Amino acid sequence: MKKSKNEIKNRILAFSKKHRSQEQISPTEVTKNLFTDVWRDHVDGVRKVAGELQNARLVKITKGGKKIALDDSGNSLRLSSFTNDD
């Protein structure tokens, strides 16, 4: 099951806006929603698109509540929408 980069971008943005009250989402949540049974095969691709969205200042990537670059993230990263305070 292949998804286009735009489909992945749109799903990340939709999830980050939908979960704004909770503030953060896991890339795994997005991946599972897009790819259901084969989601583990696509985590890296979703994370890469999240990094592109961070570079475009559309989402921010955090770990332990601190903003980080995708290259520094390792595991346990969170995604959220940029706010006026960012």
pTM for this entry: 0.83
Q: Is the pLDDT of residue 49 over 80?
A: yes
Q: Is the pLDDT of residue 70 over 80?
A: no
More confident residue, 16 or 70: 16
**Is residue 78 classed as helix, strand or coil in its secondary structure?**
strand
Spell out the domains of the chain, with CATH numbers in brackets.
5-81 (1.10.10.10)
More confident residue, 66 or 45: 45
Neighbours of 30 (CB within 10 A): 25
pLDDT digits (tens, 9 = 90+) for 1-48: 688 999 999 999 998 887 665 568 889 999 999 999 999 999 999 999
Q: What is the pLDDT at residue 52?
A: 93
